[in-house]
Structure 1
Amino acid sequence: MRTRRMKVSGADACYHVMTRTVNGERLFGDREKEILRKMLWQVADFCGVEVLTYCIMSNHFHVLLRVPVVSEIPDKELLRRYNVLYPKPTKYQTASIAVMEKELRDDGEEAEGIRRKLSARMGDVSEYMKAVKQRFSVWYNRSHQRYGTLWAERFKSVLVEGKGNPLQTMAAYIDLNPVRAGIVDDPKDYRFCGYAEAVAGNKLAKEGLAGIWASHADGSARSRSSLAEALQSHRELIFGKRAAEAGLAEVTREKALKVLEKDDAVLPKATVLRCRVRYFTDGAILGSREFVRGFAGVWQMEKGRKHPPKPNLLRGADWQDLATIQGLRKQVFG
């Protein structure tokens, strides 16, 4: 899915969204990544979505989001969220916020319009990405005396089962971006990803990591994971249990790709996650076969397909019943 996300209800689904710069230009240094990092958290607060993890690279970024069911939002909370977008308001913005507060207190026709306009921007992945990309584009172009489009496309998204192995595996894949790029050997050493922020003590990043590991790998429920348990579990998934302490992958990426050229190849999950795996960016839906099957009809209607698709099990590793809607039989790994 490139232009919109499938609408789902309940808290059992999340979204992996990613977008690239125009022509894949490497435009982001540390300063730009820092500004974008802050905006990811800021806009999430405004939209009422939860950033579980993320990774910002020099020409693209990934975010793993949990989107709650939107309920009626009190006026006080609407104003708080709106103010989040303007931590240092101009005189004009300050005056506009004051007018908005008065109209909401008066509770007239204008108040209803304000509520509708703001509520329409809440709890939606498309609105979240639109706000992040527009706000960052304005800042970037102004800071670099630049004009024109910054982003290559709207964004790509994958609907992810919001618990257990599917969510945990997707999070690990996102956090391993700087390792795949050869920037670091350990994602905790890369400031601009959710795992590193959690290790460094960021409250929101810690909550995101704990939320990812709030269920067992087999999907059975448990209480929200403590940070120590979540960090250890995430590290074991990233490095493999035997290599977690040493912080080393068992097989190099180059050797893994040669093995994965064979259709029946099976390597440790931690090893395959060090390769580019298109299932996690182009698979459209990622989860257990039951989860994927449950949304196949929705996907079929959105794509205008005549026949409902079947879940396709991931290959190349022991993915534990992970499936996607897109088979991606060619050039899956890179």
Structure 2
Amino acid sequence: MSRPALLLAILTVLVVVPALGHAFVDAVYWIKDSDGNLIYMRDDQGNIIYGNILVGQRVVFDASKSQSYYGKVDRYWWDFDSDGTYDAKKSLPVMYHTFDRAGTYTVKLLAVDSSGPPGSADTYVKEVRVVEKLENPVALFFCQVTSASPSAVNVTLNASASRDPDGYIKYYRWDLDDDGTYDQEMFRRPLLNHTFDRNGYHLLTLSVEDWDGLKDGMQRILKVDGIGGQSVEQKMVNVTVVNKREVPVNVTIVVNNWDTVTARVVNTTTVAVPLNPEGKNDFYLTTSDGGEGWFITGDHTPEFKLLPDKIELVKSGGLPGFGLAAAVTALLAAIALGARRTIKI
């Protein structure tokens, strides 16, 4: 290449390419509350979503991290309603704004460096979620025994059915020994593998927290048996299942996430199950027509009713000092469960 041609190529890079913009101005903004906290969440794929912002909440759109190759960005134009018209034109990077209606807004920032050549600008566009009120997350998890030996029982705790109606779960915290202290904190990871090396009825606690800082909790009971060749104390009791649906139903009952009982219920059926004789027990019922229900109760002779739209624990009593402590959750999809022993009736 001749010297004049080389000089022309260099001049093109230094003058013409910068004039095209974008590569030399980088626009970006974050949203903060009045205390300076960032308002954002990550979806299940890790993508950043701006929200949740409450209707009427005064928030800060902060574009101070926008940069320019030529000097600095000195013009910030904002379009808050994606109508193609800039609602505000500022010389400073901070912009206060309040949304008066709930919805998903496409907010566009145009960052300009007026000291650069023509076209020294960049745009940054993000969706922003605005809600009337913040909704609490819902904690839900299942236990699956993956392997068992005389020395240890390996369990997968699956909290992927937990959900946040207006966003995503941020933290999954686990208390695995009922001491009131969380043993594991998982960031955006709903699965936890854990090994138990002690027989007993273990109370497991899950706490979930969403990106808005709201929390919910759930407890399950896990029976661990056979460690060291020893057996936990248990007693066989009768569980009654009453069918109020129009057709016979096959029912599966998982007791303390360990023993599984199956039965066909036409009208009323009584089945024998092994229970913890001195404490509460965990029951998870599924039906062949898609129904599900989860319960923890101190009643040692429980009765379950299969209603057309749900499963109910309708009888509570049993040992003194143990009242009903039940939560019922209807799920849309079946979740596979593991158990060491199956009893067919």
TM-score normalised by length of structure 2: 0.27
Structure ranking higher on relative contact order (CA contacts 8 Å, 6+ apart): 1
Q: Which has the larger radius of gyration?
A: 2
Q: TM-score, normalised by structure 1?
A: 0.27
Q: Per residue, is there more strand in 1 or in 2?
A: 2
Higher helix share: 1
